[in-house]
Amino acid sequence: MKNIQIPKDSRLCQKDFIFGVATASFQIEGSADSRLPCIWDTFCATPGKIRDGSDGLLACDHVNLWRDDVKLIQSLGVDAYRLSISWPRVMFADGSLNPAGVDFYIQLLDELKALNIKAFVTLYHWDLPQHLEDKGGWLNRETAYLFADYADKISQALGDRVYSYATLNEPFCSSYLGYEAGIHAPGKQQKAWGRQAAHHLLLAHGLALKVLKKNSPNSLNGLVLNFTPCYAQTEDPADVAAAQLADDYFNQWYIKPVLDGAYPKSFALLSDSDKPVIHDGDFAIISEPLDFLGVNFYTRTVYQACAENGFAPVDMVDAPKTDIGWEIYPQAFTDLLLSLHQQYRLPPVYITENGAAMDDKLQNGVVVDEDRLGYYQAHLLALDSAIRQGVRVDGYFAWSLMDNFEWAEGYLKRFGIVYVDYQSQQRTIKQSGLAYRDFIQSRKSC
Ligand code: GCO
């Protein structure tokens, strides 16, 4: 297979459907010396936390190579580029803006604007300034207010350069993986901490969203959540209940407070010591109406009942998987969008991330990643199917523009549609990237 093929009558073939590529600051920028340290610098420096012992000091050297990277984005013919701003690059510890850091993003955004590429900016993609973590990080309620202050100052500085703002990327990862499972920075591990961090992140989102709407009323202002739909292993009611419980805990926990102003019912199952501290009025702040919801989708998880935890994930041994071990199950993408549509009054949805890690090889100057191409083909069709069944989706972003620092996996997992040789920093568009470009191009002429 060399092409992405979508029926011509699909919403995905209409010119106003936005196609883009996505990245995140810590994963590509490098040059830690020109910003304050963040929790990921500390985590990387802690032995045993990153699988290949690497860090984000150079990454894709994007702070130096950004002009070439913008040309690369332009060459893909995309409508939009989703990037994140590094809080520790644009703010000093005293809370004032760092002009050099702000100027980096202003130049980047101006260049994108000149090329007619819409900027989708995320304000927090996990790189919390370390000095805030030293005061408790997301366990400290004050961090939510400091985030809103950062949103206020940076959105004023960036003026009208931004097409869309997302407050947070995947609060599930920042709270659960960072403070409960301990496999992401800052590596804390306690159930109560995960729940409290989640609550403060949601609060931070609501406070910042209000600020963004005031400072940047013409941009689309919203939130990016990740979803891993939960399936029961069998129809046995115990397994079905287990999958529902897991769904509440990993997925609904982050969307329901935002759209319905309440945690899922299973909140009541938390022991008192695991329940987060919630102040009167928090849900009114958290449920500030969104202009859009960003949905990140990669895979599903299958669950069975388990006496100890209520639910336990099942390894789908024979199922097709990506190089990071995630099952390839495109039907879950359609199912997810339909179930969100049935359950909530959704604002317009953008698929802010979708993609696959594959074991790519650069050979004779080319990367033949048919497996990734197949993933994109199947998932775009799954998206098309959800749209045909009534879900409003206005855009889609491939994760990722280029290979980059994949968090606890370091540089071992490649998600890019562009290959990065980390020694030479040379970029090579993979076959999937060429197919993505050609599809976007063909759509423009249909
Ligand atoms: C996420 C993040 C990305 C990851 C990607 C692959 O969704 O976890 O937004 O930063 O790199 O998802 O894991």
Q: Is 6 part of a structural domain of the chain?
A: no
pLDDT band with cut points at 50, 70 and 90 for residue 2: confident
Task: Give per-residue pLDDT as tens, 194-226.
Answer: 999 999 999 999 999 999 999 999 999 999 999
Residue located nearest, by CA, to atom 11 of ligand 1: 406
Cβ proximity of 73 and 21 under 8 Å:
yes
pLDDT band with cut points at 50, 70 and 90 for residue 1: low
Catalytic, 170? Answer yes
Catalytic, 370? Answer no
Cβ proximity of 152 and 96 under 8 Å:
no
Report which DSSP code applies to 123. E
Quote the mean pLDDT of the chain. Answer: 98
Q: Is 426 part of a structural domain of the chain?
A: yes
- At 168 the pLDDT is 99
How many structural domains comprise the chain?
A: 1
Task: For residue 404, give the ligand 1 atom closest to its CA.
Answer: 11
Could you tell me if the CB of 403 is within 6 A of ligand 1? no
Q: Is 446 part of a structural domain of the chain?
A: no
**Token pair in block for residue 1:** 């297979």
Strands 310-314 and 301-306: antiparallel
Task: Give per-residue pLDDT as tens, 234-274.
Answer: 999 999 999 999 999 999 999 999 999 999 999 999 999 99
Positive or negative, the CA dihedral 223, 43, 39, 104 is negative
Q: Residue 361: CB partners within 8 Å, gap ≥ 6?
A: 367
Q: Residue 376: CB partners within 8 Å, gap ≥ 6?
A: 4, 354, 355, 356, 398, 432, 435, 436
Task: Give per-residue pLDDT as tens, 299-342.
Answer: 999 999 999 889 999 999 999 999 999 999 999 999 999 999 99
Candidates 265, 180, 176; CA nearest to 225 is: 176
Residue located nearest, by CA, to atom 10 of ligand 1: 24
Cβ proximity of 404 and 59 under 8 Å:
yes
Rounded Cα distance between 212 and 155, Å, is: 7
**Token pair in block for residue 147:** 């985030």
Whether the pLDDT of residue 446 is over 60: the answer is: no
Task: Give per-residue pLDDT as tens, 117-167.
Answer: 999 999 999 999 999 999 999 999 999 999 999 999 999 999 999 999 999
- Domain extent for 171: 11-441
DSSP 424-444: TTEEEE-HHHHHHHHHHHHHH
- Residue 27 alpha carbon to ligand 1 centre in Å: 9
Could you tell me if the CB of 174 is within 6 A of ligand 1? no
Rounded Cα distance between 136 and 414, Å, is: 33
DSSP 3-state of 239: helix
Rounded Cα distance between 232 and 371, Å, is: 27
- Residue 268 alpha carbon to ligand 1 centre in Å: 30
DSSP 3-state of 293: strand
pLDDT, greater one: 446 or 411: 411
**Token pair in block for residue 125:** 């993609």
Could you tell me if the CB of 415 is within 6 A of ligand 1? yes
Whether the pLDDT of residue 444 is over 60: the answer is: yes
Residue with tokens 């993003």: 105
Q: Is 4 part of a structural domain of the chain?
A: no
Q: Residue 434: CB partners within 8 Å, gap ≥ 6?
A: none
Cβ proximity of 211 and 227 under 8 Å:
no
pLDDT band with cut points at 50, 70 and 90 for residue 445: low
Rounded Cα distance between 247 and 228, Å, is: 8
Q: Is 190 part of a structural domain of the chain?
A: yes
Rg (CA), the chain: 21
Residue with tokens 């696959």: 356
Predicted structure pTM score: 0.98
Residue located nearest, by CA, to atom 13 of ligand 1: 406
Q: Is 338 part of a structural domain of the chain?
A: yes
Q: The CATH number of the domain where 90 resides is what?
A: 3.20.20.80
